[in-house]
Structure 1
Amino acid sequence: MIFGSTIRTTLAAILLVAAVMPAYAHVGIGTASSFTAGFEHPMSGLDHVAVMIAVGLWAALKGGRAVWAWPLAFVGVMLAGAALGMLQVPVPFVEPGILASVVALGLLVALAVDLPVSAGVAIIGLFALFHGHAHGTEVPETAAGLEYVAGFAVATALLHAVGITAALGLGTRFRGLTRAAGASCAAVGIGLAFGVL
């Protein structure tokens, strides 16, 4: 009983903190030359925090292999997208794709959409490409750039873990709270799209 209360309180705190963080466009914000800068960057954007937690929530709702496959797919494809960005390979619709990811992944959680693991990997991978490319375009062509990439990969994985832990901690009894968190994520995406947040 105490464990469930702690998880609910933690989830509420995370959502509250996420709600007051400023939303930044990706390119040109801050420094991109150290592990610490890379680790901090995903935490500074409401879009990134919401999506990473949503991936974890959705993976936990699905259960089974999705708990590790979906976050791993996101981090892996995000790194590939970062490489494309670092190489200045153009990817169309990056910023709209990032905004769409916030709404879509939030809705997938809110509606508890149950897709095959492979379909989830494809959806998550597409959105991860956009997020990775946006980060990769910020990275200098030096060894410090690789440290930056490592930092945002670790931070992303930790945010996935927050979502997974929250959803698993709430369990089936409080599945509605997990879905409500997904709806909040979708609302954040809509707010960002219309410039409200």
Structure 2
Amino acid sequence: MISAQMKRTALSATLLMAAAMPAYAHVGAGTTSSFAAGFMHPLSGLDHMTVMVAVGLWAAQKGGKAMSAWPAAFVGVMLAGGALGMLHVPLPFVEPGILASVVALGLFVALAVDLPVTAGVAIIGVFALFHGHAHGTEVPENAAGLEYMAGFAVATALLHAAGLGLGRRFRVLMQAAGAACTAIGLGLVLGAV
């Protein structure tokens, strides 16, 4: 049975995704032809950093298998989404999905939403698909594009690790960090950030 809190969280995330304006943080944003450019890209925007750290925080909050499964799911599905983007396979709602990921993952941490590991993998995978697709559409269809995605994957994994480390070391601040992530996401949705 799904709790009332989880229903409210899911409804809020759905409404925010439907109302979201594009972040314009992806297509055409900087060079996309090297490992270094790919590595630096997740460090260059609030949407990237907050989501990737939030995945680590949420995994630390859950503990156990989630600490490896959730970050691995994000990186793996993000790369699959990147491949789809590089192949120009259309995916609807990419920008709203990215913005919704910032808000939803922040809420999951702030509200200490406790889901089974497999449910977390599924949710994180959907969000990772949007992030990966957005970046895949902007990279060239050659080895330089693959280098860019490799750099992006490494930086993403490091941000997940930072979230895990922060979550394990500063458990008392975890929910406040989730609330901050949610606030950043709402600011992006409303165009205030």
* TM-score, normalised via structure 1 length: 0.85
Three-state SS of the structure 2 residue aligned to 1:30 is coil
Q: Residue 158 of structure 1 aligns with which residue? A: 158
Mark the runs of 5 or more structure 2 residues left unpaired by the alignment: 1-22
Q: Residue 141 of structure 1 aligns with which residue? A: 141
Q: Residue 193 of structure 1 aligns with which residue? A: 189
What does 1:20-99 correspond to in 2, within 5 Å? 25-99=25-99
Confirm whether residue 184 of structure 1 aligns to residue 180 of structure 2: yes
CA distance in 1, matches of 2:25, 2:93: 14
**Percent of counterpart pairs with the same letter?**
76
CA distance in 2, matches of 1:161, 1:112: 19
Q: Residue 11 of structure 1 aligns with which residue? A: none
Q: CA 1:76–1:166 in structure 2 vs 1: closer, same or farther (change >3 Å)? A: same
Report the Cα offset of residue 38 of structure 1. Answer: 0.2
Report the Cα offset of residue 45 of structure 1. Answer: 1.1
2:111 maps to a residue whose letter is L
CA distance in 1, matches of 2:157, 2:24: 20
Contact 1:98 1:131 in 2 (8 A): yes
Q: Residue 4 of structure 1 aligns with which residue? A: none
* TM-score, normalised via structure 2 length: 0.87
Aligned residues: 171
CA distance in 1, matches of 2:138, 2:179: 30
Query: Which consecutive aligned stretches of 4+ in structure 1 deviate over 2 angstroms post-superposition?
Result: none
CA distance in 2, matches of 1:65, 1:79: 21
CA distance in 2, matches of 1:180, 1:24: 27
CA distance in 2, matches of 1:128, 1:105: 12
Q: Residue 7 of structure 1 aligns with which residue? A: none
CA distance in 1, matches of 2:162, 2:73: 17
Contact 1:103 1:186 in 2 (8 A): yes
Mark the runs of 5 or more structure 1 residues left unpaired by the alignment: 1-22
Q: Residue 15 of structure 1 aligns with which residue? A: none
